[in-house]
Amino acid sequence: MKRTAVYPGSFDPFTNGHLNIINRAMKVFDKIIVSVAHNVSKKTIFTIEERVDLIKKIFKDNPQIEVDSFHGLLVEYAKLKKTNILLRGMRSVSDFEYEMQMAIANKTLNPDLETVFMVTDSNYTYISSSLIKEIVTLGGSARHLVPEVVEKKLVQKLQKKQGDSSTHETRKQGS
């Protein structure tokens, strides 16, 4: 019997911490579906399509990884994908409370659904999407925080955005 896990997240951006969880989970599961969640409450840098495309590029040579996206309830998506296993990564104790709450809610909605938690390696615990975005926006390198393909796209997006806002500020001050 093949063991398939859904690894959901916003992945904005996809980080080396996410990569660490997936690489280690490949030793436990036969297939991992990395699924980008549509979350209207989060302000994102990348569109859903861009995030899916970036993650597909990272895992292009790995048949064990499927990359997808979903709307709505995660429990319904897991049913659609014919799996009862959710994979969740945790960086710190502060992640635990939220992740436990979500796991219990999902279990309430589908008693057959199991959530497997993996703690990222310690050298990735400080990585967060907001930290990465701030570093790149301020002209720093995120090379050690995200895969190369992600860093290139981040630099394009954030430096363009920074340039646009600088132009806007200059126009505003000149008025």
Catalytic residues: 18, 42, 91, 129
DSSP string, 37-102: E--TTS--SS-HHHHHHHHHHHTTT-TTEEEEEE-S-HHHHHHHTT--EEEEEE-SHHHHHHHHHH
Q: How far apart are CA 24 and CA 19, in angstroms?
A: 9
